[in-house]
Structure 1
Amino acid sequence: MPYFTTTDGAEIFYTDQGTGQPIVLSHGWPLSSDAWQVEIKRFYDAGYRVIAHDRRGHGRSSKVATGHDMTTYAKNLAELIEHLDLHDVVVIGHSTGGGEVVRYAAQFGKGRVAKVVTAGAVPPIMLKSESNPEGTPIEDLDGIRTNVLKDRSQFWLDLAVPFYGGNRPGVDVSEGLKEDFWRQGMLVNLIAAYDCVKAFSETDQADDLKAIDVPIFIAQGDDDQIVPIAAAAKKSIELVKHGTLKVYPGASHGIWGAYQDELDQDILAFIAK
């Protein structure tokens, strides 16, 4: 299995499939690159080179106790892209990964990034405040931290339900999908899982969005129960220079089912423009 070592000594697992224009995928919390398996195949079949990594502390990467902030995540992504000497790159991020690719494109990816895609992404900032009343209250975020410490195994099972919209009438989320969320969650270092909550919720990325000078496709479901769309996609589109927003009716935070099918088609169409 391929790994590379960052300048601060973390070993990052990644998968690299295919040839052609590179697409680099950044996963959400508390998952791993396994969350992108369907996209890896679809984009590979479409003729692209597809790379996906496990963020530090997640999946098969080093269970390091430090560096769980958006800037370090983006620096690690930059080091991976430089390690593979990728150019004309399309970076795609879901949830926390959306914050990672936005910061990467804004601060580290000049001259390498061709396009950016985010889905259910956390920018510009998730935390509720006087200036961001649509955001997530700090009490809810503290509740996540409490549950991660108290019984993370049960919490991943519980979280998978709203993550994929399984608490909505008529939505049938398979046990396999929920258990795969649990499986990936259980691979996260506890320190990484805990500290990443602050990274994904309290990092102000308004300036990152303003700095992106390449086309960006911003996608989000209007029934996202994890990242409030009014604080995320609908604000992000107002800050970027060359943005396209698509809201998916009834879609959850998790990428699966009909939402996944439509989103993947839209991403391929956006890349091909």
Structure 2
Amino acid sequence: MPTITTADGTEIFYKDWGSGQPIVFSHGWPLSADDWDAQLMFFRTRGYRVIAHDRRGHGRSAQVDGGHDMDHYADDLAALTEHLDLRDAVHVGHSTGGGEVVRYLARHGEGRVAKAVLIAAVPPLMLQTDDNPGGLPKSVFDGFQAQTAEHRSTFYRELPAGPFYGFNRPGVEPVEAVIQNWWRQGMMGGAKAHYDGIVAFSQTDFTEDLRRISVPVLVMHGDDDQVVPYADSAPLTAALLKNATLKTYTGFPHGMPTTQADVINADLLAFIEA
């Protein structure tokens, strides 16, 4: 399997298919590069080079004890882009991966980057604070951690079967294969990485990171996102960015790159080619 070893000795798995302008995909919690299958195949057949990695502790990457924070996630992404010597890249991040992309751009600069896309992403800040009253209470994320530590297999079945893909909404038919694929990806990763990652995606404040970014950014979010609620994420993110386009999808769930792949892929392609 293709891997790189980071400065702190962590082995990171990645996929690198095709040629042409590179598009780099950063996945959500607690998944893997496999969550981008629909996008990798779509863009690979349209002449793009597609790259996706498994975040440390996720998928096929090393299940290390530490480094499960946004700085390390960004540094790992930087190590991959430097190893592959990517230029003029488009970075696409979903959910936690959106935070990873934002921190990467702010921490490592935009010299290798042409554009970025944030899909149902966690910035600016998910946690409810005095300065962010619309965020989610810490008790929500404490519950996520407890379920991850105590009965991860059950939790990883309930989340995709319900709010992640909107399968708990009236009239929405659950897709069993999609639920099972989410569970499969989640259970491939390490419980410690996933436990710590909940703090990383919920408590990291990306406000200053967003203000530093100047490349064009497409912010895509469904207004029925039950995991990263729309009102406290996408509009605030777009307002902080220097060069943002906000695209809101009526009724789309958090996992829209999978369940609404045809719409998302078409809009991604239009943004990249603009």
TM superposition score category, shorter chain reference: over 0.9
Q: For the residues of structure 2 that align with 1:251 and 1:230, how far apart are their CA atoms?
A: 14
| Partner SS state of residue 250, structure 1 | coil
Identify the range of structure 1 (127-136 vs 195-204) with the bigger mean alpha-carbon deviation.
Answer: 127-136
> Residue 240 of structure 1 corresponds to which residue in structure 2?
241
Counterpart residue type for residue 52 of structure 1? A
Aligned pairs for 1:93-104 within 5 A = 93-104=93-104
Aligned pairs for 1:110-259 within 5 A = 110-160=110-160, 161-256=162-257, 259=260
Counterpart residue type for residue 226 of structure 1? V
Deviation at 1:109, TM superposition (A): 3.4
Deviation at 1:103, TM superposition (A): 0.9
| Partner SS state of residue 163, structure 1 | coil
| Partner SS state of residue 14, structure 1 | strand
Identify the range of structure 1 (127-136 vs 54-63) with the bigger mean alpha-carbon deviation.
Answer: 127-136
Please say if residues 105 and 116 of structure 1, whose CA atoms lie closer than 8 Å, have aligned partners that are also in contact.
no
Q: For the residues of structure 2 that align with 1:260 and 1:229, how far apart are their CA atoms?
A: 19
Cα deviations by residue, 1:57-106 (Å, 9 ceiling, x for unpaired): 00000001100000110000000000000000100000000000011112
Identify the range of structure 1 (258-267 vs 227-236) with the bigger mean alpha-carbon deviation.
Answer: 258-267
Please say if residues 134 and 228 of structure 1, whose CA atoms lie closer than 8 Å, have aligned partners that are also in contact.
no
| Partner SS state of residue 213, structure 1 | coil
Please say if residues 217 and 244 of structure 1, whose CA atoms lie closer than 8 Å, have aligned partners that are also in contact.
yes
> Residue 29 of structure 2 corresponds to which residue in structure 1?
29
| Partner SS state of residue 25, structure 2 | strand
> Residue 3 of structure 2 corresponds to which residue in structure 1?
3
Deviation at 1:136, TM superposition (A): 1.1
Deviation at 1:135, TM superposition (A): 1.0
> Residue 72 of structure 1 corresponds to which residue in structure 2?
72
> Residue 271 of structure 2 corresponds to which residue in structure 1?
270
Counterpart residue type for residue 216 of structure 1? V
Counterpart residue type for residue 255 of structure 1? M
Counterpart residue type for residue 11 of structure 2? E
| Partner SS state of residue 237, structure 1 | helix
Counterpart residue type for residue 144 of structure 1? F
Please say if residues 98 and 118 of structure 1, whose CA atoms lie closer than 8 Å, have aligned partners that are also in contact.
yes
Counterpart residue type for residue 71 of structure 1? D
Q: For the residues of structure 1 that align with 2:68 and 2:146, how far apart are their CA atoms?
A: 18
Q: What's the C-alpha RMSD, in Å, of the aligned pairs? A: 0.9
Aligned pairs for 1:81-96 within 5 A = 81-96=81-96
Deviation at 1:257, TM superposition (A): 5.8
Cα deviations by residue, 1:139-168 (Å, 9 ceiling, x for unpaired): 111000010111000000011121000000
Please say if residues 257 and 264 of structure 2, whose CA atoms lie closer than 8 Å, have aligned partners that are also in contact.
no
> Residue 261 of structure 1 corresponds to which residue in structure 2?
262
| Partner SS state of residue 58, structure 2 | coil
Cα deviations by residue, 1:142-197 (Å, 9 ceiling, x for unpaired): 00001011100000001112100000011112111001111011012111010000
Please say if residues 102 and 209 of structure 1, whose CA atoms lie closer than 8 Å, have aligned partners that are also in contact.
yes
Please say if residues 23 and 92 of structure 1, whose CA atoms lie closer than 8 Å, have aligned partners that are also in contact.
yes
Cα deviations by residue, 1:205-233 (Å, 9 ceiling, x for unpaired): 01111101100000011000001111110
Q: For the residues of structure 2 that align with 1:134 and 1:199, how far apart are their CA atoms?
A: 18
Q: So what's the TM-score if we normalise by structure 1?
A: 0.98
> Residue 49 of structure 2 corresponds to which residue in structure 1?
49
| Partner SS state of residue 118, structure 1 | strand
Runs of 4+ that moved beyond 6 A: none
| Partner SS state of residue 64, structure 2 | coil
Counterpart residue type for residue 64 of structure 2? V
Task: Give the number of aligned pairs.
Answer: 273
Q: For the residues of structure 2 that align with 1:231 and 1:71, how far apart are their CA atoms?
A: 23
Deviation at 1:113, TM superposition (A): 0.7
Q: What percent identity do the matched residue pairs reach?
A: 54
Counterpart residue type for residue 31 of structure 1? L
| Partner SS state of residue 248, structure 2 | strand
Q: For the residues of structure 1 that align with 2:262 and 2:247, how far apart are their CA atoms?
A: 14
Please say if residues 211 and 241 of structure 2, whose CA atoms lie closer than 8 Å, have aligned partners that are also in contact.
yes
Q: Please, which runs of 5 or more residues in structure 2 have no aligned partner? A: none
